[in-house]
Amino acid sequence: DGGITQSPKYLFRKEGQNVTLSCEQNLNHDAMYWYRQDPGQGLRLIYYSQIVNDFQKGDIAEGYSVSREKKESFPLTVTSAQKNPTAFYLCASSIPPGGYGYTFGSGTRLTVV
């Protein structure tokens, strides 16, 4: 079945460490997105990619980095520069603009210890 796989489901990070969250899709979608969700709040866009080898900053990109070397993969690195990284992270993909087919992964819950 087609879908988005995010791993790991839970991730613990020590302060000062970089961590990478995985996002893989087999939907053949061109566009991919990373969102951050804090408790009781909506989703905020971190980065998005329209095509392989290209990506753009979203509303809260500081302290994060991404790469898009393959169409299927869009990993997110939470760097030590992100001062408050504890949150729920959701990856999504979509068909090109004009459609409404957004698919979300099941999320990664990151906790700083």
Partner 1 sequence: AQKITQTQPGMFVQEKEAVTLDCTYDTSDPSYGLFWYKQPSSGEMIFLIYQGSYDQQNATEGRYSLNFQKARKSANLVISASQLGDSAMYFCAMREASTDSWGKLQFGAGTQVVVTP
Residues that bind partner 1 (CB under 8 A): 31, 33, 35, 40-45, 48, 50, 58, 88, 90, 92, 94, 96-98, 100, 102, 104, 106-107, 109
Q: Which two tokens stand for residue 39?
A: 């408790």
What is the C-alpha separation between 79 and 33, in angstroms, rounded? Answer: 18
Please tell me whether residue 87 adopts helix, strand or coil conformation. Answer: strand
Please tell me whether residue 50 adopts helix, strand or coil conformation. Answer: strand
Tell me which residue has tokens 């068909």: 95
Minimum CB separation of residue 35 from partner 1 in Å reads 8
**Between residues 63 and 107, which has the closer beta carbon with respect to partner 1?**
107
Minimum CB separation of residue 73 from partner 1 in Å reads 18
Minimum CB separation of residue 102 from partner 1 in Å reads 6
Q: Which two tokens stand for residue 94?
A: 């979509």
